[in-house]
Amino acid sequence: MIKKKYDLEVHPDQKRIEVDFRNTLLYEEVFHLSEKGFRESLLELMDRSHENFGGYKYSIINFLDEHPNLKDGDLKFELGRELSRLNLRVTTASNKLDNIFAENFCTKGKSFLENSKELKMFQVFLEYRWDFCKWDGKDISPIRLKENVLNYFRPFVPSFTRFYRKKNVGDRDFHYIGFVKYDREKNDISEVGFSYRAYREFIHPTALKQIVVLGVVVVAIVFLFPFFFRESLLSPLKDLLDGVERVNGGNLEVKVPIRIQDEIGFLANSFNNMVSSIRDARRELQDYSSYLTAKVRLRTEELSEKIEELQNLKIQQDGDYFLTSLLAKPLNYNANKSTRISTQFLLRQKKQFEFRGKRADLGGDICITGNLRLGTSSNYKRYVFAMNGDAMGKSMQGAGGALVMGVVVNSILARSAADDRILDISPEQWLTEVYEELNAVFKSFDGSMAISASCFLIEEASGRTYYFNAEHPFTVLYRGGRAVFLESSSTLRKIGWESEYPFQVFTTTLREGDVLIVGSDGKDDLNLAPGKDTRLINEDETLFLKIVETGKGNIEQIEQLICKKGEIIDDLSLLRIEYTIPKLNSEKGCLKTESKEISDWNVSYSHACQLYRNGNLKEAIDELTDLYSKTPENSKVIRLLGLLSFKDKDYVTAVEILGKYLKLNSELSEYWYYFSIANKRLGRFSEAISASEKVAAEQPDNTNNLVNLSDLYRLQCEYVRAKEIANKILDVDPQNKNAKKILKEIENKIRIKNSPLV
């Protein structure tokens, strides 16, 4: 590079200009390197770069380290893009540093550079020389320090890049524009420029002439435009606007004159055609209106005839409804006469109608009660029969099923209890025959008619209850202010359908003050968002339990609470059964005591144990129940009664008795396990988990309990804990089928939950 010094008096910033020259020279050398071996050649060139290029040098080397896979042409291209971005950042930083006063440059300049993350390499390079107000470890004036730092932030640009410079002549600053030119053949770099003031003085005469010409043209256009364009633009537009106003006023006989065939003339012609089309359309519309008036009159007459026919059909249909409702009413008969067991109905059919001024309802729900005696003529027991059913289908179809159910059940009761008849048959057998007869009748309809029902047969003296549930909502047992489900799972399909479950009569024992609430699914199918466009159907099966507890087992209050919770969207029927033991009234002599005291407790207890060993489970439970009523604090009786109730699947009694026993002996893990299973069958998962956790604490390797605990957490949707316990089971017993089944069910639940269709 041939170096010719500038006059220092005119160009005191010669050092900065020299840095610009060297940067431009380096730029040209970098981008004239061969693409082959570009990385190695670039590193050699960086080693020969000048001192003030240090920030760029570190940035280029850092770029090469961050992109080791770029080679040759790709590396050269990406480096060019990176240097373009870097040059913009450096220019911005240079301007900001230059605006900092010299006396504050030591601190503010250093702070600015430390906070400039994009210029990290410049900071790394300068920290070896710049230490606040020292340069190379020596004190230096703030002005000199600022000049030294700014020399490292000069542009890195190619040849023929424009530079804006200024020079001092005397007390005045003169600005000029310079272009740095690099001659590769001569390896010479120079700057050519011109004074900005001289440029403005040169261009001023020409610009002044253009301004004068522009002013004359503007004046001519402003003042002469109306004269030249009145006939060709203003007048045609005025005619067109007048025509638009007249059409807006309702005059469709308007025709705008066309003065000249140009764009406005074309617009006027189109407007005339549009008005003509509107005029023709209005005329046709008037013709259509006259025609349609006659047509509407004809259609109105036809519609009136159809409405009259429809009304006649509606009257006929309401007549059918009314006749069906008259047939159904006597079948919903509360014939129970027992003094110990009271029964109440609440029936609200969804279909409401009016026939000849009489309001009535119609639906598929039905309730029936009655009394019968089973045993021999010398030794029989009195029973109360109660049934609640919900026939499949809406309105007439459901009502038809309820009629069939009512006729058959009332016929069975009449046949069983007529003429003070005593049937020598067990309660289980009698209920079995009732189910078989009902199922045979409904199956004869080939699946077009079916009914869900819960049927109960309750012994008056002991409260012993026999029942079956044919896919009907679970029965609620209200005892001691708390409501629980009597059943825990479906055990039979609807009456009239084939059932994969074998028919079975279940038993439980009612105690004084116990209330059974049996109801159709109308008590659960509630619209929780009435009045809104989208229905929100209740899915909480335990909601009715809370309502029963709040209503204290009173069906009128239960109905009111249901209506407060949401809108009833189906037939609603409730059957209330309360078991009470009437007090003795010695003065009236209404009741006589039939029980006698047992003198020897050991004889009675041994007899119960012998009955159990002989396979007479129910007789053993009856014996123990009687013994428990006399000695309610005896732990042996409590323990055995709790276990036998569990084996008999009377989970309500099992939970109560086992809970009492565990309060006396809380360290018996086996009984905590039974207590957990019984609570699980009743849907009381929290109590079941608590009991099972106690077993797990005492017997951590009890796989049966761990399976139960894992399944309980699965039912509570606590899948993480359930999987943890299931995996623990498989660690102990890798072939445990129950643990594998639980894990599979959890995976299915999670997959369904995460499905985009859900």
Domain spans of the chain, in order of start? 14-158, 332-579, 603-754
- Annotation: CATH topology of 603-754: 1.25.40
Model confidence, pTM: 0.45
pLDDT for residue 220: 84
How many helices (H) and strands (E) in the chain?
23, 21
- Annotation: CATH topology of 332-579: Phosphatase 2c; domain 1 (3.60.40)
134-135/138-139 β-pairing: antiparallel
Whether the Cβ atoms of residue 86 and residue 30 lie closer than 8 Å to each other: no
d(CA 23, CA 545): 87
One-letter amino acid for residue 258 of the chain? I
Taking 70 as the pLDDT cut, the residues of the chain under it are: 1-13, 168-171, 231, 315-324, 326, 328, 355-358, 360, 582-600, 603, 755-758
d(CA 434, CA 386): 12
| Sign of torsion over alpha carbons 417, 423, 427, 433 | negative
d(CA 176, CA 158): 20
Q: Name 16's Cβ contacts closer than 8 Å, sequence gap at least 6.
A: 147, 150, 151, 154
One-letter amino acid for residue 310 of the chain? L
Q: Looking up tokens 């929290």, which residue turns up?
A: 686
Our CA dihedral for 190, 195, 196, 199, rounded to 10 degrees, sits at -110
pLDDT for residue 3: 46
pLDDT for residue 518: 96
d(CA 410, CA 58): 102
Q: Report the DSSP beta bridge partners of residue 485.
A: 476
Per-residue tokens: 62: 């850092």
d(CA 496, CA 485): 25
Q: Report the DSSP beta bridge partners of residue 517.
A: 476, 576
Q: Name 468's Cβ contacts closer than 8 Å, sequence gap at least 6.
A: 431, 435, 454, 455, 491, 492, 503, 504, 505, 506
CA-to-CA separations, 277 to 5, 92, 271, 280, in angstroms, rounded: 87, 67, 10, 5
DSSP tag of 624: H
365-375/422-423 β-pairing: parallel
pLDDT for residue 747: 87
Length of the chain: 758
Whether the Cβ atoms of residue 549 and residue 483 lie closer than 8 Å to each other: yes
pLDDT for residue 190: 83
Domain 332-579 matches domain 603-754 at the CATH topology level: no
